Amino acid sequence: MKGIRICWIVLLISDKGSQREAMFCSPGGSGVMRSASQGAWLSGGLVIGVLPSDRQHPKKGYPNTFVSIPIYTGMSDARNVINVKSSDVVVA
**Chain segment 16-70, per-residue pLDDT in tens:** 655 566 788 888 999 888 988 888 888 888 899 999 999 999 999 999 999 999 9
Q: Is residue 92 part of a domain?
A: no
Q: 54 vs 28, 63, 77, CA distance in Å?
A: 13, 11, 13
Cβ proximity of 41 and 28 under 8 Å: no
Q: Is residue 14 part of a domain?
A: yes
pTM: 0.79
pLDDT at 72 over 90: yes
Range of the domain at 24: 2-85
pLDDT at 85 over 50: yes
**What's the CATH number where 73 sits?**
3.40.50.450
Cα–Cα distance, 55 to 2 (Å, whole number): 33
Q: 43 vs 2, 9, 55, 61, 82, CA distance in Å?
A: 24, 15, 28, 22, 24
Q: Is residue 20 part of a domain?
A: yes
Q: How many domains does the chain have?
A: 1
Structure confidence at residue 1 (pLDDT): 46
pLDDT at 79 over 60: yes
Structure confidence at residue 86 (pLDDT): 86
Q: Is residue 91 part of a domain?
A: no
